[in-house]
Every structure is written in C-alpha cells, then in structure tokens.
Amino acid sequence: MTASAAAPARKRLFIRTWGCQMNVYDSTRMADVLAPLGYAPAEAPEAADMVILNTCHIREKAAEKLFSELGRLREMKRERESAGAGMVLAVAGCVAQAEGAEITRRAPWVDIVLGPQTYHRLPEMVARAARAGGAVIETEMPVEQKFDHLPEQAAPPGITAFLTVQEGCDKFCSFCVVPYTRGAEYSRPASAVLAEARRLVAAGAREITLLGQNVNAYHGEAADGGTWGLARLLRELAEIPGLLRLRYTTSHPRDMDEALIAAHRDIPTLLPWLHLPVQSGSDRVLAAMNRGHKAADFLRIVERLRAARPDIALSSDFIAGHPGESREDFAATLALVREVGFAASYSFKYSSRPGTPAAGAPQQVPEAEKDARLQELQALLREQQDAFNRSRAGMVVPVLLTGPGRHPGQVMGRSPWLQPVHLQADAALVGQEVQVRILAAHPNSLSGVLVSGEAASHILSAEEPAPA
Ligand code: SF4
C-alpha cells in the first residue's frame, strides 16, 4: 500500500470455534489473514460484518448442530440487511470439508464454504463472494501448502501459545474422519516452525504447545537438507531464549519412538505431561479400529516414558462401544486404565461418522449398553483424575503465571500438568514461572502459595510423590 492509500474500512469479524486446539489455532490464523482487509474482532455475531463458523466433525451430530446454528444466523443476517448492513457468512473446518456444497444447498444464505487447507485464500474468497453475489465453495486440498501463504501471526499471543507443526493423517482409524477432512500427513519445514516460535516468544509467549493431528509423526524438512523428527525439533526449540515450556499434542502410540522418549528425559523445558490416546485396552478392538498397535505396546511405552521422566503424567482418549466391542473387550479397557493410572482423560461413546469404515460395520453396540460402559469408564477415570490432583497437595511445583485471577490480588497459572492454579501474588509476576506450594486440590484446579518470586528451576521438590 502507498503512503497515500486509504486504510481499509474498519469491519468486525466474529469467529465461533468448535473442537480441538488445532481449530483454535486455525481461527487465529483466519483472523490474521483477514486483518489486512480491516477486520477486527467482534464481541458477538449480531455486531459482525463477517461470521465464520469453524466446525469440528468429531462432535456428535456435527452437521445437524451446524445447520441449527446457521438457522439462527440467517435471522441475524436478515436483521442486519434490513438495517442497511451486511453479513458475510462463512463455514470453515472439518464439517465444511466433509459436507461441501450440501451446506449451501441446505443453507443458501451461506456465502463461503472453505476446507481447512484453504484458509490462506480467504481474502480472495471474500472478494469473490461480494462480486458474484453467490456462494464460494473451496474444499479441495491444494498442493500449495497454506502455511507458505499465511501471514505472520498478527494478534499478540498470550503467555501460552499454540503452534501448528503438522497436519493431516495417513492412519485411517476406523472411526475417524480426519484423514478425509484434513488430508494426508504434512509437516511444516523446521525453519518455518523455529521462526514462528521465535516470533511468538518475542511477542511474550513463554509456553508453546506444538500442534498436529499426528504431531509425533512430524518429519519436517531441515535447512541442512535432512529431515527432523519431533524429538530433534523439540531440542532445537528448547534452545530459544525466553521459552520456558514446551508441550506437544496429539500423539499416536505408533510414533512414540526412542528419540522422543529420550527427549522427555533430556529436555527440562519439555513438560512432564503427555496426551497419548489409546482408545481401547482390547487387542481385538484395537485391530478393528486399525490402530496398528496392541495394548501391551502401549503399556511398554508408558513404562519407558516413566523410566525416562519419573514425574510424567498421562492423559488419553477412550471410545466406549466401538462396533464389535464385547463386555470382555470393555473389561480389558478398564484393566488398562487401572494399570496405567491416568491424570486426565477424554472419553466418548462410539458414534458413527458417515463415510468411515466403522459406520457401516456390523455388530453396532446398542445405545443403552454404550451409555452404561461410558459411565463406568468415566467414573474410573474421574477417580484417577481426582487422586492425581490430590497427590499434588503439599508439593512445591513450578507454575507459569498466565493472568489475573477472579478475585483481587489473585493470579492464575498453570502447573506442569495443565492444572489451573490460583494463588495470591503480584500481577507483575505474570509471564514468569514461580515456585508454588500446592495447598489444596479442587475438582478442576489447584490452589497454593508462592514460595519464592524467583524463577522456578523445573526440578520438582523432593516431596514429589510417584505419578498416579
Ligand atoms: S491417528 Fe488420530 S487423526 Fe489419524 S485417523 Fe486415527 S484417530 Fe484420526
């Protein structure tokens, strides 16, 4: 733009995000792409010139929920139009990818439907929608990689930030739509990841979570012409001055290699926390799910991780009632949960996703039985989570202070195990990692007192109990 060119008119953008952290990251990148067109955040859809629904296909009845939300937005769009304003309505994310033109057939008031690999082309789509006055649908998976075409992150990150390093999946689990909606595995070049991480840290981020649907399958091109795995990438990221903490999610047991386990032993800034979905404890069900590993493989990985990093805690994903799962198979899942002891978990009853192999499989488990199994599983997982949280009481742990708390003089932070921590402290300490003695565990958070304002050492107190 020349010095004399007018700044773009100020417009408001509202993005509703469903689903995983990758969708949260994608939403921030869509806002970055639209910022040069003059779009700034809106508080509510009613006040927005553009609304994007960033959808998730993992949700049960995801498409139906989308169409009911679109019904509400149709009314808002009409009201704005009768008041002389407009509203560009876009549907993004995995439901957009899966449903494509079906969205505009059922909801012709939608202007743009875009798949997850096309966000960098949003400004052009907005212009085309305005010119054509009809819907723009972009759901192909272009060979050009969107990361090469996205601008640098515009919005300053918080103390904690996400950074997508890998997308897509080639594993084709029986129940999952990701390989169909996000496409084949792709890893960003290591230099691009390092550059983005340095920018995030320069803008104030102190903890970075690397994201990918199969993040530990990362195999990024390196400047020396070689290929780096996730372990090497983590080692390089750990060298960035000012970056206090690293995490990564979501991992697959098949890609949990020796180098990555050694990284947990060697990198102090790599937090002692791992989300490692197992889905089932039954070999028969794991095979039906096409997971490519057995229950014993998972247990061996856990053992090696705990040997490498004794304070590591694990979370996982579980599906209750996958087609063909018998009571004995489900009992094997409960046995695996008891053997491992998880600090947190996500569990769902199986629900079919159109187009996936399990959707058409015989031996669907009756709904009532799925409900009963899920409740039993969740009761056990909740018990383990509570026990893990209680086990922190009395420990001195490093807490990264992330912002003010709800009460005067209170600040909020995060333990190494993703637990929110409340304490009384000077707000000037936000952004630092401090030592906190945990006094009490609540259902979803911890509270404690500051032990010292000095930077935490990452070495846990000698009072550290064994992992749950
Ligand atoms: S590995 Fe994960 S993302 Fe890939 S198909 Fe399986 S569940 Fe989906």
Report CA(333)–ligand 1 centroid distance (Å): 19
Nearest CA among 119, 199, 195 for reference residue 155: 199
Q: How far apart are CA 451 and CA 390, in angstroms?
A: 19
Q: Which of 56, 252, 346 to mutate to test the pocket of ligand 1 (most atoms within 8 A of CB)?
A: 252
Q: Is the CB of 289 under 6 A from ligand 1?
A: no
Indicate if ligand 1 lies below 6 Å from the C-beta of 128.
no
Q: Closest ligand 1 atom, CA of 177?
A: 8
CB of residue 213 inside a 6 A radius of ligand 1: yes
Q: Which residue has the tokens 């000012």?
A: 242
Reduced to 3 states (helix: H, G, I; strand: E, B; else coil), residue 449 is strand
Residue 346 CB–ligand 1 contact under 6 Å: no
Residue 358 near ligand 1, beta carbon < 6 Å: no
Long-range CB pairs of 267-271, under 8 A, 24+ apart, other chains included:
267/234, 267/235, 267/238, 268/238, 268/458, 268/459, 269/238, 269/243, 269/244, 269/245, 269/458, 270/234, 270/238, 270/246, 271/245, 271/246, 271/247, 271/416, 271/417
How many angstroms is it from 265 CA to the middle of ligand 1? 27
pLDDT digits (tens, 9 = 90+) for 318-359: 999 999 999 999 999 999 999 999 999 999 999 888 778 888
Would the annotation count 322 as a binding residue?
A: no
For the chain, domains (ranges, CATH) are 11-138 (3.40.50.12160), 156-271 (3.30.750.210), 283-294+316-389 (3.30.750.200), 396-455 (2.40.50.140)
Index of the ligand 1 atom closest to the CA of residue 290? 6
Name the residue type at position 310.
P
What is the distance in A from the centroid of ligand 1 to the CA of 259? 22
Is the CB of 172 inside a 6 Å radius of any atom of ligand 1? yes
Say how many Å lie between the CA of residue 251 and the centre of ligand 1: 9
Per-residue model confidence as pLDDT tens digits over 261-297? 999 999 999 999 999 999 999 999 999 999 999 999 9
Tell me the CA–centroid distance for residue 39 and ligand 1, in Å: 34
For ligand 1, is residue 214 a contact (CB within 6 Å)?
Answer: yes
pTM exceeding the 0.85 threshold for the entire prediction: no
Out of 56, 58, 94, 169, give the residue to mutate to test ligand 1, the one with the largest number of ligand atoms within 8 Å of its CB.
169
Q: Is 191 annotated as a binding residue?
A: no
Beta strands 50-55 and 39-41 are: unpaired
Give the integer Cα–Cα distance in Å for 245 and 434.
13
Distance 171 CA to ligand 1 centre (A): 6
Contact call for residues 174 and 357 (beta carbons, < 8 A): yes
User: Whose C-alpha lies nearest to ligand 1, atom 1?
Assistant: 171
Distance between CA atoms of residues 191 and 208, nearest Å = 16
Give the residue from 65, 47, 48 showing the smallest Cα distance to 56.
65
Check the annotation: does 169 bind a ligand. Answer: yes
Q: What angle do CA 105, 110, 114 make, to 5 degrees?
A: 90
- pLDDT tens digit at each of 468 positions of the chain: 333 445 556 889 999 998 888 888 889 889 988 888 888 999 999 999 999 999 988 766 778 889 999 999 999 999 998 888 889 999 998 888 888 888 988 999 999 999 888 888 888 888 888 776 677 887 776 645 666 666 666 555 689 999 999 998 999 999 988 888 888 899 999 999 999 999 999 999 999 999 999 999 999 999 889 999 999 999 999 999 999 999 999 999 999 999 999 999 999 999 999 999 999 999 999 999 999 999 999 999 999 999 999 999 999 999 999 999 999 999 999 999 999 999 999 999 998 887 788 888 888 999 999 999 999 999 999 999 999 999 999 999 999 999 998 888 899 999 999 999 999 999 999 999 999 999 999 988 999 999 964 444 443 433 333 333
Q: For residue 20, say whether it is annotated as part of any ligand binding site.
A: yes
Determine whether the annotation assigns residue 173 to a binding site.
Answer: yes
**pLDDT tens-digit profile of 287-323?**
999 999 999 999 999 999 999 999 999 999 999 999 9
